[in-house]
Structure 1
């Protein structure tokens, strides 16, 4: 029996196993998205709600309206900043976990994973009780004599970024840890034996080898940050605009064409930046 004939049952088995999941994904995800895409070319009418037509006016309004553009730029800024903070703060923690031989390592991993079992709205509510005018931070500053009265740290872009980082950081750490554990320690020891300082070793040896984990963590946290809903709504307040809450608001107003257009601009931006990161990472990894 040839190798080609022997591999045929495996291919059929894989197709049989993947087929149902692919069908469900196509029916439950791709189908509704295509339907929503068609809605984005319709016209909104307050009396009829939606008129079946084909127009680019919804996209034109998005890219010419200061309100929509402001929310778009805010979403990009928050997504990029929070992702960068997750990467910079998550890499050292992931490295410590990957190289740790302590018996408490599993407890540390559990401590990182446990917050994922709590909903984003619940965690945002926790930040509200901590950062509010009567929260723990404000009361502590007053008792230390650093402030004269209650200080409200809520409803700012910085507060939203802090909340999103707290939500996304575990994903970054876990993505990096799995890759760092696969890097042989002898590679690091060889760099040190050749006289490389720790920073040089990290920059010239560790980071290039960890690029797949960096890419995976960056893409995952960026997607989550761009599409965040509960955190911007609860920590940013009604005057803080990001695209995901804006989409929900348009649906509440029954303006389905506008909501669909905003949703697809958000999805297209996230997808394009994700592909760009993947391409750059692949090229850097091949060059390294």
Structure 2
């Protein structure tokens, strides 16, 4: 059975581990304008990354945008995923199709579509000027709220489908039992459904957070040239400046920060919803299990 996993392990090593090792090795080299990359073994690129306030700000903006987008997508995805999971079958197929339909269009196309809506000559500004709400075009692009809003629309279908697939596996009778015990619908969802759906919450948040940390098209098209995130900055270092060692250091640092953040999200959510252990009051004896006799009957029931 283990031999069957060898091809998959070999593919992972060849397509994932080997490029990451090469990227790490590049990040330890030096950059010169004449030779571009000089073989070395130094941490100078990582020191420069943390010493330069500009790159610290870029990393901070990336983390902030990813965290905001993930949080908003979770708040919107939980009720949508619950509704999709509990919907009758005749409507569920159509709503599922409508949810996954945006995923068939690339991020570049969707971001370009939002440019047509948010631009100075876009639909929103045209409606605002026609209705008299604004005399001049509103600045709806090239700032952080616009980037976060568009990224939410891009990753929301993934969050909804991840949550719906997990909630669908939770039996309805647990909610009915909670209602019979006097719990309101929101209380039943928070105390009964949500803890059981936590694997889907962790998976959805991790997936969305990873995609947001590595977003490229939306920050470039919606944020503009002055809005900087890690992935466009990595592209600029590799392609624009030909500084492969520093670009590799940025990429490897982005990978490490994303991995640590995702692990932190999972551990924090699991710790927050872990049920508390029941405590025995002081001086009270813990219940003892009933001892059975050799014949298999309890002592109390062995008498006539």
TM-score for the superposition, normalised by structure 1: 0.92
1:1-288 aligned at under 5 Å gives the runs: 11-12=1-2, 15-16=3-4, 18-252=5-239, 253-284=241-272, 287=275
Over alpha carbons, which structure has the higher Rg? 2
Describe the superposition over 1:60-89 as per-residue Cα deviations: whole angstroms up to 9, x where unpaired: 111111110110000000000000000000
Specify the SS of the correspondent of 1:62: helix
Question: Where does the alignment leave 5 or more consecutive residues of structure 2 unmatched?
Answer: 277-304
Structure with a larger share of its residues in helix: 1
> In the alignment, is the contact (CA less than 8 A) between 1:168 and 1:221 conserved in 2?
yes
The residue number in structure 2 matching 1:4 is none
Work out the CA distance in 1 between the residues paired with 2:124 and 2:273: 44
Paired residues in the alignment total 275
Change (3 A) 1:202 1:40: same
Specify the SS of the correspondent of 2:264: helix
Work out the CA distance in 1 between the residues paired with 2:255 and 2:167: 30
In the TM superposition, residue 102 of structure 1 has moved relative to its aligned partner by 4.9
Describe the superposition over 1:181-209 as per-residue Cα deviations: whole angstroms up to 9, x where unpaired: 01111111111111112222122111111
Describe the superposition over 1:99-155 as per-residue Cα deviations: whole angstroms up to 9, x where unpaired: 001512111101111111111100000000000000010001111110012223111
> In the alignment, is the contact (CA less than 8 A) between 1:212 and 1:281 conserved in 2?
no
Work out the CA distance in 2 between the residues paired with 1:102 and 1:146: 43
Work out the CA distance in 2 between the residues paired with 1:154 and 1:283: 39
In the TM superposition, residue 285 of structure 1 has moved relative to its aligned partner by 5.8
> In the alignment, is the contact (CA less than 8 A) between 1:78 and 1:225 conserved in 2?
yes
Work out the CA distance in 2 between the residues paired with 1:127 and 1:259: 29
Measured on the aligned residues, the alpha-carbon RMSD in Å equals 1.3
In the TM superposition, residue 260 of structure 1 has moved relative to its aligned partner by 0.5
